Amino acid sequence: MGWLRSAFQDELDGVTSTLVELSSIVSGAIDKATHALLTASLAEAEEVIAADDRVDNLQHDLDARIIDIIARQQPVASDLRALVTALRMSADLERMGDMAHHVAKITRLRHPNAAVPSELLLTIEEMGKVAKLIADKAGSVINSRDIDKALELERDDDEMDKLHRKLFTTLLDDNWAHGTETAIDITLIGRYYERFADHAVSVARRVYFLVTGKFSNQ
């Protein structure tokens, strides 16, 4: 029966590999979406928008594979926990792709004009860097199941929250001179980056639960 267990482990490893691939794709998407936003690049924005279909398709295929594995193998204990956790992580990663897609759509909506006023470029750039860092770390955590690194993501998310608050400080300043439309754009952009990071933290928490059987209390 050893070969059956080996084949099952190969399937589990394949699920993990696809999750890592998804994390890499959404990391690249938010990085490119940020660059498109900062440079008002329609071409890059369109690339991100078009590539979102790949994320959706990968997620749908992965979920179908996981459900098939559960039906065929009828796993119990830690194996079942791993597969159910993987289903939830794939949903989080798909939502991260959606957030990058939404950022890119604002670039397209405002083209050829820039969506971000000059005084906010640095803050948005920092949000993009933190988002990519968090996505990359989420992929590493999925692959390694390193619970210490999983807990680090909570602290990384604190930095995103600080940047999000900084955006609103500028928006609410009496000297804001860019009108309501731009204010709405910036509000949405800030929300997209914040939610991107929140979903990455959710991935890390699920890995923590997978390894320890407990929920992170951080």
DSSP string, 24-56: HHHHHHHHHHHHHHHHT-HHHHHHHHHHHHHHH
pLDDT value at 90 more than 60: yes
pLDDT value at 200 more than 80: yes
pLDDT value at 186 more than 70: yes
pLDDT at 99 (0 to 100): 98
189 with 124: CB under 8 angstroms?
yes
Residue 145: left if φ>0, alpha if ψ -120 to 50, beta else—which one? Answer: left
Give the number of other Cβ atoms within 10 Å of residue 186's Cβ: 23
Among the listed residues 176, 179, 157, 159, the one whose alpha carbon sits nearest the alpha carbon of residue 168: 176
**What's the Cα-to-Cα distance from 30 to each of 17, 25, 79, 104, 180, rounded to whole Å?**
20, 9, 32, 9, 25
Return all residues near 97 (Cβ < 8 A) that are at least 6 apart: 22, 25, 26, 29, 52, 55, 56
pLDDT above 70 coverage of the chain, percent: 97
Mean residue pLDDT across the chain: 93
pLDDT at 7 (0 to 100): 81
Q: Which domains does the chain have, with CATH numbers?
A: 2-212 (1.20.58.220)
pLDDT value at 2 more than 60: no
pLDDT at 134 (0 to 100): 97
pTM of this structure: 0.94
Q: What are the pLDDT digits (tens) for 103-162?
A: 999 999 999 999 999 999 999 999 999 999 999 999 999 999 999 999 999 899 999 999
| Banded model confidence at residue 78, pLDDT cuts 50, 70, 90 | confident
> What's the whole-number mean pLDDT along residues 177-183?
92
Q: Helix count (H) and strand count (E) of the chain?
A: 6, 0
pLDDT value at 5 more than 70: no
pLDDT value at 218 more than 70: no
| Banded model confidence at residue 198, pLDDT cuts 50, 70, 90 | very high
Provide the residue type at 166 as one letter.
K
> What's the whole-number mean pLDDT along residues 9-36?
96
Residue with tokens 């979406």: 33
Among the listed residues 65, 167, 163, the one whose alpha carbon sits nearest the alpha carbon of residue 120: 167
pLDDT at 217 (0 to 100): 63
Higher pLDDT, 5 or 125: 125
pLDDT at 107 (0 to 100): 97
